[in-house]
Chains A and B, each alone.
Chain A
Amino acid sequence: MSAPGINDFTLRVATVNGTGSASANGLLMKAIFRMGVPVVGKNIFPSNIQGLPTWYEIRVTGDGHAGRDGEIHFVIAMNPETYADDLASLAPGGVLLYDSTWPRPQLLSRPDVTVLGAPLSAMCNEAFKAARSRILMKNMAYVGAAAALLDLDLDVIKQLVTEMFAGKEKLIPLNMQAVELGRNYALQNFTCPLNFRTKPMEKAKGKIMIDGNTAAGLGMVYGGATFGAWYPITPSTSLMDAFQLYCDKLRVDADTGLHNYCILQAEDELAAAGLVIGASWAGARGFTPTSGPGISLMSEFIGFAYYTEVPLVICDIQRVGPSTGMPTRTQQCDIQLCAYASHGDTRHLVLYPAHPGECFEFAAMSLDLAERFQTPVFFLSDIDIGMNDWMVDELTWPEDYVPDRGKVLSAEDLEETKAFYRYLDVDGDAIPYRTLPGTHKKGAYFLRGSGHTKLGRYTEKGEEYKEVVDRLYDKWKRAAAFMPAPVVTPASRPARLGIIAIGSSDGAVREARDRLEAAGMPVDYMRIRGFPFSDEVAAFVEAHDEVFVVEQNRDAQLLGLIITETAAQKEKLTPVLHYSGEPLNYRFVYDAIENAVKVRKIA
C-alpha cells in the first residue's frame, strides 16, 4: 500500500486537553486545505475539560480520499504522558517531533523512526512574558516547526492567523513571532522539508471544511424548522449550538426583533421529546438533537409519536455505548435502537448521512419525511461526522425548495368537509389527514396513545385496534420509496464480492474498495442511506456471492437489520466490525476483506 509521499501522509498532534491546541491544529489543517490539498481531520479527544490526552490527526491526501489511512507518519508529541504510545504509533520510517526543553533519551528506543527535538518551551519562555500566553505560543511554535518540515506556505499561515485574531490585531505579530521561532529552529537544525510533505494543488476549489453538526444545524434553518428542544449531551450539543447561532443571525425579524423560531433547553431528554412532539402536534417543524443515552430516555414518547402519528425528528449523533460508554468516541451503535425504538410494535424512518454535505441535505429531508408520514424520523449521524471537519462541496440550497408539510387541513378545507376523522385513510395511501389546534371546530380531535379506532375513538376491540396498526405498518413500508436511494459504486469489471455500509464508514470503505480493485479484487459497493430499506438492497446481495457488511459496532447491527427486514440470504453476509471508538480507516476494511478472500481460497 501507499508509502508516505508528497501530499500523501498522516500527521498526528498529541497534546493535553485544555491547553489551547485546538486552534493551532485547526490552523495546520486549514493551511493545507488553503494550499488546495485535500485533507481529512479527526479529533480524538477525551471526556474531560482539562488534563487528559487528546490527539488531532490530519491526513493529507492529494488523491482526495475521504477516510483515515490507519498509519501515522509524523507525530508532533507535545504530551510527555503519551510519548511511549505516540512513538509506538508511528509507521516505520516515521518522524516524531517533541519539545526537547526536557530531553527524553527513551524516545530514541526505536531505530526505525527519526526523532527530532526542538526546545519549544524554552524558546517561548524566553520570548514571551505572560505564563498563559507562553503555553499558547508553544502551540504556534509547533505549527511553525511543522511548516518548515512539511513545506507549508507561510503566507497562507499568516493570512489564517490574521483571520483568527480579527478584532484582536495586537495578537497577530506575537503569534507570527511564535510561528517563526519554531520554523527557524527547524530550518536551522533539521533537514527541511521532509521527504513526505505538502505541495500546492488545485483540489480544494469549491470546497469547504465543515463539521456535520454545524451543517445539520444550518440544514434545519434552511429546511424551515421553527422549533428545537434539547438536553445537552456530547456529541450532539454543537448541532443545537449551530441552529441557535444561525437562527440568531438569520431568523430574527428585522422590524420587530421577534423570533421566527423557538429553542428550549429541556430539563432532560424525556422532556425534549415531549416538547418537540407537542410543538409538532401543534404544527411547528421541530427537532431534537441527542445521542444514545437520550434515545433510551425518549423511548416511551417515541412510541407515543409513532402510534398517535405526530411528526418527530430526532438527530442521534451516536457515541460509544453501552451506558455512558466512551462519550467522546465514535460508533454506529444505535442502528437497531433507532429502527425500532419504544415498546410494542414500533418501527421508524431512519436517515444515514455519510458526511456534512448530506447532513445539510438530510436535515431538511428529515423534517419533510416526518411531516409527510406523520411519524418519528431519525437522523442517524455520529461523532466522526458530527464533530470532525470534513472537506465537502460548498453547500447549496435548491431555490425551488418547498417544505413538504404533509396532509394538514386548513379552516377552508374543514368548512367544506362533512366530518373529519383523524385516522381515516381517505386517499388510500395509508396517510390520514391531520388538523392543527385552533383551526376550526370541525377539526377538533383527541390525540391518545391508548387504543383507538380509525375514526380516532377509544377502543379495546381487537379488530379496530388491528386496523390502525396494520395501516401504520403499511405506511412505514410505503415510506421506503421516499428515502434517499442507495449509492452504488460498481467495480470496473464484474465482481462476485460486494460491500454494504452506511454513514461515516463511507470514506474508508470507498478507499478500501478502490485499492482492492487495484490489487485485483473487484468489489461492488452499496451505501444504504435510509430505512426502511429499498428493494435494491436485497437485489444487491442476490447479485453477489458474498457481501461484506462493514459497520462500527460489535453486534453487526446493520447486518442483522438487513436479515430481518429484507429477503437477502443470511449466508451471503459477512460482518466486518470496527468498534474501538476511533473513526474507521481504510486499512482495517482492506485487510478484513483481503484476509477473508484468502481464507475462502484455502478452504
Chain B
Amino acid sequence: MTSFVKPKIRRKNEPLNDLGLARSDYDGAMSTLCAGCGHDSVTAALARAYFELSMDPKDVVKVSGIGCSSKTTTYFLRDAHGANTVHGRMPSFATGAAAVNGALSYVGVSGDGDSLSIGIGQMAHAIRRNVNMLYMLENNGVYGLTKGQFSASSDIGSTAKKGAANTLPPIDPAIFALSVGATFVARSFSGDRDQLVSIIKAGIKHRGFALIDVISPCVSFNDHKGSTKSYAHTYQYYHKAVHADYVPPSEEIVTSYEEGDVMPVELHDGGIIKLRKLDADYDPTDRAGAMDHLLRSQATSEILTGLLYIDESRPDMVEHKKLTDTPLHSIPYAKLNPGAEALRKVQEEFR
C-alpha cells in the first residue's frame, strides 16, 4: 500500500476565504481509514475550521502519535508540515516544536489509546506547560489499529465486539485535563459537525493548550450494541451544555451580544469566544463547577459536550519561558555567541 495523492479538484463557484483559498485547499492525502470511521469526520471538521478561519496552511504544524486517529494528520492541510511520531509521545515532540516558533499554529491529533494509556504522562505535562496547541483526542473507546482491545476510556459495562464487558473505570479526558490544569477543555462528537467546527475554531484561537475530546466511533470494532462509544449510544446520551462561537477581531464591533446566557471571553488575538450556556447553571469559567458537572454526568452516563472550561488568563509556555519573538532557528549566531571576552571572564573562577 502506498499513500494516495488526492487529486486537487476545484469546483466552479466554490466559496473562497479571505486568503482566496477554497475548502479543498485544506485537504490532504486520501484517507485510508474504514468507511464510516468517525476520525474521517473529525478530519473534515478540522479542514473546515482552518478554511473558515482563513489560516495559511503553511503556518500550521500537524503532529500525531500512532493509531488510526494519529494517521489522519496526512488527510488534511497538505501544505502544512506534519509529523507522525511514536506511540503516545506526540505531546513532547509538539512541545519542542512549539517552543521554536511561537508564530505558528500547532495541532496534535491523538487517540484514546495514544493519549490515555501509553501517552497519559506526556499529555498531562503538555497540559501543565500550557503549550499553545490544539489537541484533538479522537475517542472511540478502543484501540482501532491493533484491532479492538479496550482502551482506558471504555466505560464500565461497555462490551467488546466479542461480548466481554469492561470492568475497569474509565479515564474521562475532560476530567483528567481539568485536574492537571488545562486552560481549555471541550467535548464534542464526530457526528455533530457544526458544534465540532465551532469548538475547533475556538480551540485554535485559544492561547494555550486546548483539549477537545471528540467521541469518534470506530465502525469496525466498537459500534455494536452494548458499546457506549457507538454512534447510536452517543446520539442517545449526547447533551450540549455550552455552545461556543469564535468571533474574529474584525467582526467584534458589529456583533451584539444577546442578553441572558451569552458570555463573551476575550482572546489574546483580539477576537472573542461567545459562549452560550445551554444549561443555565453551567459556568464554563468555573473550574470546580465544571468538574462537579462532569463527575455527575459520568454517573448518569450523560455525555456532556461543548466548551466545558476556559481560562484565558494563564500564560502559555512561550510567555512563561520568556522566549524571544524570533524563532529559535533564526537567531543570528552573533547573538548566540557570547564572544571571547565573555569566555575569558567566565573562566576566572576556574583559575
Contacts and interface: CB of A to CB of B under 8 A. Distances in A.
Contacts of A280: 96
Given A227-B100, A438-B59, A447 B86 contact: no
Interface in B276-334: 321-331, 333
Interface string A175-211: 0000000000000000000000000000000001110
A458 B83 contact: no
A260 B336 contact: yes
Contact of A284 (B79, B100, B342): B100
A111 interface: no
B351 interface: yes
A274 to B, nearest CB: 3
Contacts, number: 224
Interface residues of B, number: 63
B1 interface: yes
Contacts of A227: 96, 99-100, 328
Contacts of A256: 324
Contacts of A260: 324, 326, 328, 331, 335-336
A450 B73 CA distance: 14
Interface stretch (A4-12, A265-273, A511-519): A265-273
Interface residues of A, number: 76
B163 to A, nearest CB: 33
**Which of A210, A260, A266, A275 lies at the interface centre, i.e. has the most chain B CB atoms within 10 A of its CB?**
A275
A277 interface: yes
A277 B322 contact: no
B2 A459 contact: yes
Nearest to B79: A441
Contacts of A443: 58, 81
13 contacts: A260-B324, A260-B335, A268-B121, A270-B89, A270-B122, A277-B93, A278-B98, A282-B61, A282-B99, A304-B86, A436-B329, A447-B81, A448-B83
Contacts of A447: 81-85
B286 to A, nearest CB: 28
A224 B337 contact: yes
Given A275-B92, A438-B103, 12 more contacts: A227-B96, A263-B321, A271-B91, A274-B92, A278-B83, A283-B100, A308-B83, A401-B337, A437-B81, A437-B97, A444-B58, A445-B81
B338 interface: yes
Interface string A439-463: 1110111111110010001111100
Contacts of A449: 84-86
B95 interface: yes
B96 A274 contact: yes
Contacts of B103: 438
Nearest to A279: B96
B316 to A, nearest CB: 13
Contacts of B328: 226-227, 260-262, 279, 282-284
**Which of A279, A304, A399 lies at the interface centre, i.e. has the most chain B CB atoms within 10 A of its CB?**
A279
A461 B83 contact: no
A419 interface: no
Interface of A: 208-210, 218, 221-222, 224, 226-227, 229, 246, 249-251, 253, 256-264, 266-268, 270-284, 286, 300-301, 304, 308, 394-397, 399, 401-403, 435-441, 443-450, 453, 457-461
Contacts of A253: 324, 335
**Which of B78, B84, B121 lies at the interface centre, i.e. has the most chain A CB atoms within 10 A of its CB?**
B84
Contacts of B81: 435-438, 443-447
Interface string B216-255: 0000000000000000000000000000000000000000
A270 B346 contact: no
A394 B351 CA distance: 9
A218 B346 contact: yes
Contacts of B326: 260
Given A222-B338, A444-B80, A282 B343 contact: no
Contact of A246 (B95, B99, B346): B346
A258 B323 CA distance: 6
Interface string B85-120: 110010111111111110110000000000000000
A131 to B, nearest CB: 30
B125 interface: yes
B257 interface: no
Contacts of A259: 321-324
Interface of B: 1-3, 56-59, 61, 63, 73-74, 78-86, 89, 91-101, 103-104, 121-122, 124-125, 129, 321-331, 333, 335-340, 342-343, 346-347, 350-351
A246 B333 CA distance: 16
Given A208-B347, A284-B328, A437 B104 contact: yes
Nearest to A221: B338
Contacts of B124: 267
A458 B58 contact: no
Nearest to A229: B96
A444 B121 CA distance: 30
B79 A397 contact: no
A246 B345 CA distance: 12
Contacts of A263: 321
Nearest to B81: A437
**Which of B78, B103, B338 lies at the interface centre, i.e. has the most chain A CB atoms within 10 A of its CB?**
B338
B97 A278 contact: yes
A437 B62 CA distance: 10
A449 B89 CA distance: 13
Contact of A281 (B93, B321, B340): B93
Nearest to B93: A278
Contacts of B339: 397
A261 B336 CA distance: 9
A437 B104 CA distance: 8
A275 B100 contact: no
B57 A444 contact: yes
A345 B49 CA distance: 41
A264 B100 CA distance: 12
Given A277-B96, A278-B97, A251 B336 contact: yes
A210 B350 contact: yes
Contacts of B94: 278
Given A258-B323, A458-B3, A450 B84 contact: yes
